[in-house]
Amino acid sequence: MSELERIYTVPLGRAWVAQKYRRAEKAMMVLKKFTERHMKPTEIIIDQSVNKAIWARGIRNPPRKIRVRMTRDSEGVVTVNLAEAEQ
């Protein structure tokens, strides 16, 4: 397989099901599940900029949605970056 790149808007609203003090952690889990479902990876690498964007407003108030660029290489490793970030 060659390199595959897609831009997604990931809905993180399911993080609000968790307790207030666990929402950012739950948002990261939702992002990983979304990546597994849509890109079928062997391994997931989440860029530090995505992590900082989710945790920017603290553990209790992550964003409701986030735009990310997912890139899968020939070995099946998926890298998740912010869509607006420069390449």
Q: Which helix (H) or strand (E) holds 4?
A: strand 4-11
Give residue 2's pLDDT.
61
Identify the pLDDT of residue 24. 97
Mean pLDDT of 54-82: 96
For the chain, domain boundaries:
4-82
Question: Is the pLDDT score of 87 beyond 70?
Answer: no
pLDDT tens figures, 3-46: 999 999 999 999 999 999 999 999 999 999 999 999 999 999 99
Name the CATH topology of 4-82.
Ribosomal Protein L31e; Chain: W; (3.10.440)
Report the pLDDT value the prediction gives residue 85, as an integer from 0 to 100: 72
At 86, is the pLDDT very low, low, confident or very high (cuts 50, 70, 90)? low
